[in-house]
Amino acid sequence: MPQPSWFNRLSIFAGLAFLYLPIVVLVVYSFNASRLVTVWGGFSTEWYAAAINNQSIVEGAKISFLVAATSATFATALGSLAAIVAVRIRRFRGHHIFNGMLVAPMVMPEVVMGVSMLLMFVTLGIDRGPVTITLAHATFTMCFAAVVMQSRLAELDPSLEEAARDLGCPPFLAFVKVAVPNMLPAFVSAWLLSFTLSLDDLVLSSFTTGPGASTLPMKIYSQIKFGVTPEVNAISTIILGVVVFGLVASRIVSRPSAKSTVAV
Amino acid sequence: MQSYVSIENLSKSFGFFTAVDDVSIGIGKGEFFSLLGPSGCGKSTLLRMIAGFEAPTAGIVRLDGADVTAVPAHRRATNMMFQSYALFPHLSVGKNIAFGLQQDRLARGEIRQRVCEVAEKLQLSALLDRKPQQLSGGQRQRVALARALVKRPKVLLLDEPLGALDKNLRTETQYELVRLQRELGLTFIIVTHDQHEAMTVSSRIAIMRQGKVLQVGSPAEVYETPVSRYVAKFLGEANVFEGVAARRSGNELTIESAEAGGSVFAAATDNVSTSGRFWVSVRPERVELNKQGSGLEGVVEQFSYAGSGRHYRVRLKSGAMLDALRINLGSQDDLSVGDTVFASWMPRAARLLAE
């Protein structure tokens, strides 16, 4: 491999710094002993303790995790069904429109989605709260789950199920016994991705929430209106940790070579 | 003779495309039957209809006398070996082989015994705990075969079973398949596009093109007495010249051919009328090339050395090309590119074709 020139090195360094320096600053200052956000006053974990003892924050975290876990489960289930239709049935009337609409929420402005869902919930007379947030999250994370499932399903040899049928398995059982075990990593991966997307969502949550149901990002957002405290840094760092863990885990699980490295 | 597998007027259309067009074949018990044809000729679709994966648009499939056209794949007494092998990646070799027996709810002891039996026959005993990903191509192929055979099917269907193997292993496996088929006394139906493979393994071959069966017969029958120019050229190589007029004397025909630029000979036959259009076909290995003498005059244009034989492409005076093959018996080669040669053959070496 050719050695990168000084210009290449500088570009990479500048690019990465642009992307990640704010996060590094955030993480570093979450361990700041000083009350002032911008002045370093020595190492301390007191803000983590403060965050964990902050009843309002803990309440928000509980709602966030509950919403994320529930919506991720729905999104994975619905996304899988959509992926099965898209990959297995493939050529049905309107399959182009179906495939397009499946991924459209990925690029749809979140504000538009938020407004439309708010309108829908109001029209249907549904009380807004954790349930409506969950529904909204499931809707927009479903397309990500579907894409993850689609790519895995497309890799799966369709003659596997035919082989199972040939060996005496009825069609549905063939799917359960052969396709599902081989899709397991994709299920986990889709769930984790949906979970992390839901966990840090602010816009959609704000539109679809009701009184007394504030997710963690909403709590943080309302706190910084009164100034950024080191406590917010600490909470953000914790969320960052969870999200990074989720993304890395989802990548590792969905890696196709992960299966072939299983020992004898 | 009552056919064991009987395909009666079977057709399959996908929209406007007819993949299999009114095919009727009878296959006897214990036969090693080949469906041979270029890709897209409908041979795989035909096999999948026998297996029950595709529902025919019209026609009947009979298995051991019973109409199984409406029986779904999982209840048919056929088993298939897939082109991709379709081994279950999440199961070990042993569990892959046992899968079909578990569907039949056999006792554990019997499953174990039958898996061990077939594993031993196919030299897989040491690999039963491995995952398919840890096997070589040849081993995977044997696992796929074992998984289908362990069910003791009435008919084993093989869809391009050796396509993924390299040439040496493929030849080896062809003989192995034939040995296994004889030993078990099973009926095998194989789909292949490799004419050499079909000739090596089969008791009979059906040659297919565009959804239709052109000819069914033993390898020797199909090679020696092809029904058409297409069959003659698909199965091996053939020089084909259109005839203009024929003169019969005893068992021999003398045919005037403008395409060949002279008179050629063929064995007399009553099957082909020489009043309309007809053709003469002769295999390259039966063409004799001499530097002097009689026959069709031409110039050696290309030469290739193929180890077991020497191929010559001769440009005839008429402008047509003639392929000739001299079996390499160790003698010196006396022909080179640019030489003028005379091509001839024994009358019984050539055949008359009506289409």
The CATH number of B5-231, from 3.40.50.150, 3.40.5.50, 3.40.50.300, 3.40.50.2300, is 3.40.50.300
The structure tokens 């917010």 sit at A232
| Partners of residue B151 in chain A, C-beta under 8 Å | 167-168
Q: Name A176's Cβ contacts closer than 8 Å, sequence gap at least 6.
A: none
Structure tokens at B37: 């044809």
Bridge partners of B248? B253
Flag if A168 and B89 touch (Cβ within 8 Å): no
**Interface mutation vs chain B, best among A90, A157, A167, A257, most B CBs within 10 Å:** A167
User: For position A52, what pLDDT does the model report?
Assistant: 84
Measure A164 CA to nearest chain B CA, in Å: 8
Domain B237-353 homologous superfamily, CATH: Nucleic acid-binding proteins (2.40.50.140)
pLDDT along chain B (355 residues), means of 10: 86 90 92 92 93 92 91 92 92 93 90 92 90 90 92 91 83 89 91 90 93 93 90 90 81 83 81 78 90 86 88 90 88 82 88 84
Angle between helices A216-224 and A55-84 (to 10 degrees): 130
Q: Does residue A116 belong to the interface with chain B, where contact is any CB pair within 8 Å?
A: no
Going by the DSSP 8-state scheme, the letter that residue B332 receives in this structure is: P
Taking 60 as the threshold, does the pLDDT of residue A264 lie above it? Answer: no
CATH of the domain at A65: 1.10.3720.10
Flag if A178 and B88 touch (Cβ within 8 Å): yes
Per the model's pLDDT, the better-predicted residue between A243 and B300 turns out to be B300
Domain residue ranges of chain B, discontinuous segments joined by +: 5-231, 237-353
Using pLDDT thresholds of 50, 70 and 90, give the confidence band for residue A257: very low
Average pLDDT on A57-64 reads 88
Average pLDDT on A117-127 reads 91
Q: Write out B94-157 in H/E/C secondary structure.
A: HHHHHHHHHHCCCCHHHHHHHHHHHHHHCCCHHHCCCCHHHCCHHHHHHHHHHHHHCCCCCEEE
The structure tokens 């590094």 sit at A24
Average pLDDT on A56-62 reads 87
Let me know if residue A50 belongs to a domain: yes
Structure tokens at B331: 């003698």
Considering only CB atoms, A159 lies closest to which of B74, B78, B84, namely B84
Q: What does chain A come to in residues? A: 264
Contact B11, B20 (CB under 8 A): yes
Let me know if residue A90 belongs to a domain: yes
User: For position A261, what pLDDT does the model report?
Assistant: 39
Structure tokens at B6: 């009987």
Please count the other Cβ atoms lying within 10 Å of the Cβ belonging to residue B51.
22
> Cα–chain-centroid distance for residue A68?
8
Please state the φ and ψ torsions of residue B79, each to the nearest 5 degrees: -130, 150
| Partners of residue B189 in chain A, C-beta under 8 Å | none
Distance CA B346, CA A95 (A): 63
- Nearest residue of B to residue A181, measured between CA atoms: B90
Q: Name A91's Cβ contacts closer than 8 Å, sequence gap at least 6.
A: none
Distance CA B276, CA B210 (A): 25
Flag if A260 and B133 touch (Cβ within 8 Å): yes
Taking 80 as the threshold, does the pLDDT of residue A90 lie above it? Answer: no
Q: Which helix (H) or strand (E) holds B254?
A: strand B252-257
Structure tokens at B293: 């003498």
Q: Counting Cβ atoms within 10 Å, is residue B201 exposed (0-12), middle (13-18) or buried (19+)?
A: buried
Distance CA B288, CA B265 (A): 13
Taking 50 as the threshold, does the pLDDT of residue A77 lie above it? Answer: yes
Taking 70 as the threshold, does the pLDDT of residue A259 lie above it? Answer: no
User: For position A256, what pLDDT does the model report?
Assistant: 54
Contact B342, B292 (CB under 8 A): yes
Q: Which domain holds residue A234?
A: 23-30+42-253
Let me know if residue A196 belongs to a domain: yes
- The distance between the two most distant Cα atoms of chain B, rounded to a whole number of Å, is 77
Please tell me if the domain spanning B5-231 has the same topology as the one spanning B237-353: no
User: For position B21, what pLDDT does the model report?
Assistant: 92
Distance CA B305, CA A185 (A): 54
Structure tokens at B45: 């679709």
Structure tokens at B101: 């027996």
Give the 3-state secondary structure of residue B14: strand
Using pLDDT thresholds of 50, 70 and 90, give the confidence band for residue A78: very high
- Total number of domains in chain A: 1
Structure tokens at A27: 């993480």
Q: What does chain B come to in residues? A: 355
Using pLDDT thresholds of 50, 70 and 90, give the confidence band for residue A254: low
Measure A34 CA to nearest chain B CA, in Å: 55
Structure tokens at A181: 């075990």
Measure B201 CA to nearest chain A CA, in Å: 24
Q: Name A181's Cβ contacts closer than 8 Å, sequence gap at least 6.
A: B90
Which has the closest alpha carbon to B50: B27, B29, B30? B27
Please count the other Cβ atoms lying within 10 Å of the Cβ belonging to residue A224.
11
Taking 60 as the threshold, does the pLDDT of residue A101 lie above it? Answer: yes
Residues B256-274 as b/e (b if ≥16 CB within 10 A, e otherwise) read ebebbbbbbbbebeeebeb
Structure tokens at A213: 């149901």
Percent of chain A with pLDDT strictly greater than 70: 95
A197-218 per-position pLDDT tens digit: 998 899 999 999 888 788 888 8
| Partners of residue A167 in chain B, C-beta under 8 Å | 74, 79, 99-100, 103, 147-148, 151
Taking 60 as the threshold, does the pLDDT of residue A66 lie above it? Answer: yes
Distance CA B130, CA B89 (A): 10
Contact B5, B187 (CB under 8 A): yes
Structure tokens at B233: 């050229």
Q: Counting Cβ atoms within 10 Å, is residue A45 exposed (0-12), middle (13-18) or buried (19+)?
A: exposed
Give the 3-state secondary structure of residue B248: strand
Q: Name B162's Cβ contacts closer than 8 Å, sequence gap at least 6.
A: B141, B170, B173, B174, B192, B194, B197
Please count the other Cβ atoms lying within 10 Å of the Cβ belonging to residue A125.
6
Taking 90 as the threshold, does the pLDDT of residue A246 lie above it? Answer: no
First to last CA, chain A: 35
Residue B295, sorted as left (phi over 0), alpha (psi -120 to 50) or beta, turns out to be left
Residues of B with CB under 8 A from a CB of A: 51, 53, 72-75, 78-80, 82-84, 86-90, 99-100, 103-104, 129-131, 133-134, 147-148, 151
Which has the closest alpha carbon to A199: A152, A232, A149, A245? A245
User: For position B1, what pLDDT does the model report?
Assistant: 54
Considering only CB atoms, B86 lies closest to which of A157, A169, A260, namely A157
Q: Rg for chain B (alpha carbons), in Å?
A: 24
Structure tokens at B99: 């899968």
Distance CA A57, CA A75 (A): 26
Using pLDDT thresholds of 50, 70 and 90, give the confidence band for residue A255: low
User: For position A262, what pLDDT does the model report?
Assistant: 39
Q: Counting Cβ atoms within 10 Å, is residue A50 exposed (0-12), middle (13-18) or buried (19+)?
A: middle
Beta strands in B167-231 (DSSP E): 187-192, 204-209, 212-217
Considering only CB atoms, A159 lies closest to which of B78, B82, B104, namely B82
Give the 3-state secondary structure of residue B310: strand
**Interface mutation vs chain B, best among A91, A166, A261, most B CBs within 10 Å:** A166
Contact A147, A78 (CB under 8 A): no
Q: Which helix (H) or strand (E) holds A72?
A: helix A55-84
Bridge partners of B350? B282
